[in-house]
Structure 1
Amino acid sequence: MSFSIQVPDRSDPWYTKRGAVHVPAGEGLTKWMVGDVYTVKLTAAQTNGSLSFIDASVPAGAGPVAHSHADSDEAFYVISGELEFLDGDRTFIGRAGDLVFIPRGHRHRFKNVGVHPARMLFLFTPGGPEGAFVEGGEDPRPGEQPGLWGPERLTRMVELANRYGSEMLPDDDL
């Protein structure tokens, strides 16, 4: 069996159009938030709104408060460690290799319940909520570790979360 493949006209935009976004290892915008380290690898602006992508390092005992996203779904892929996920009114443990998908409008959070930092990748689709990280996170300071935030910083984060389509919710059992 044989078939021929027509060689495209190399000036045809289908053949020449470029649009990939390449973020090399170790690059991206890194921010500290509530003790966690987040590196924003892709923003909604870079993907024409399609998605945003974040690399996270979550120290033992750390993680965000319960919240929901009105207009974005969120997916998490655990690379290392153990994270307790809240899904509505239940919790479960995510371990290395686990993927967790949270539909928009659902109450959720994650918390590192291990003794070592956990690492995960997560994305929003469509993108947008990462704006709260970019605008509200602290710039890393060489030679220091991120610290926990006091009430004044958390109040600012509630304002930013609301601006970027997220709502902070009670963290305890309903």
Structure 2
Amino acid sequence: MTGLLPRSVAEAEGPAFWFLNNLCIVKATTESTGGAFSMVYQIAAPGHATPYHLHHVEDEAFYVLDGEYTFICDGVKTVVGPGGYMFLPRGIPHGIRASGSVPATMLILATPGTGFVGMMEEMAEPALERVLPKPTKPDLEKLNRLCAKYQIDILGPLPK
């Protein structure tokens, strides 16, 4: 027996963070899944893009709920809309852009659940409201330091 118990999280539940100008709500943590995975519900403004980056420890899976995202994985672009799924394995450079004209939402599953949520929580600010934050310029020095701590390489801006 693993000691884990069934767990349910309602739509309005889970710690909320403003992370790199997105609203992120943590639905499952490493602790709640015995290290198996973490899950985050994310809302991104149109045009928002992650840096081009590479995870050394975890794989990521994305399920798009609303809007449109363009995923760039090892230089290949894939556009995913509502109901679409994208898997990005560790060790391969990738990044994501909210490419539609309206805010986009998705679920992000990271496995094992050790790095992404920890880095996000250390980088982010607790969300005062469950709305998109006012855009700010991220502290890139802090982002690079935290990504290094969680074995994520920042490779530069997302390619067009």
TM-score (norm 1): 0.83
1:26 aligned counterpart, secondary structure: coil
The partner residue of 2:125 within 124, 127, 138 is: 138
- Give, in whole Å, the separation in 1 of the partners of 2:145 and 2:80: 29
Matches within 5 A, 1:7-156: 19-128=5-114, 129-142=116-129, 145-150=132-137, 153-156=139-142
**Bigger proportion of residues as strand:** 2
- Give, in whole Å, the separation in 2 of the partners of 1:145 and 1:69: 26
2:125 aligned counterpart, secondary structure: coil
Identity across the alignment (%)? 29
- Give, in whole Å, the separation in 1 of the partners of 2:52 and 2:85: 19
Compare CA radii of gyration and give the structure with the larger one.
1
Q: What do the CA deviations read for 1:36-76 (whole angstroms, capped 9, x no partner)?
A: 11111111121111000000101111131111110100000
- Contact 1:62–1:112 (CA<8 Å) still a contact in 2? yes
1:79 aligned counterpart, secondary structure: strand
Q: What do the CA deviations read for 1:86-119 (whole angstroms, capped 9, x no partner)?
A: 1111212111111000111111111111110001
Root mean square deviation of aligned Cα: 2.1
Residues 25 and 71 of structure 1: CA distance in aligned 2, closer, same or farther (over 3 Å): same
**Bigger proportion of residues as helix:** 1
1:8 match = none
- Contact 2:4–2:32 (CA<8 Å) still a contact in 1? no
Paired residues, what number? 158
> Does structure 1 residue 157 correspond to structure 2 residue 143?
yes
- Give, in whole Å, the separation in 2 of the partners of 1:122 and 1:76: 5
Q: What do the CA deviations read for 1:17-38 (whole angstroms, capped 9, x no partner)?
A: 8611222221111111121111
Q: What do the CA deviations read for 1:120-143 (whole angstroms, capped 9, x no partner)?
A: 001011001210111211122349
Q: Structure 2: which 5+ residue stretches go unaligned? A: none
- Contact 2:43–2:103 (CA<8 Å) still a contact in 1? yes
2:32 aligned counterpart, secondary structure: helix
- The AA in structure 1 aligned to 2:52 is A
- Give, in whole Å, the separation in 2 of the partners of 1:136 and 1:58: 17
Q: Structure 1: which 5+ residue stretches go unaligned? A: 1-12
- Give, in whole Å, the separation in 1 of the partners of 2:131 and 2:85: 31
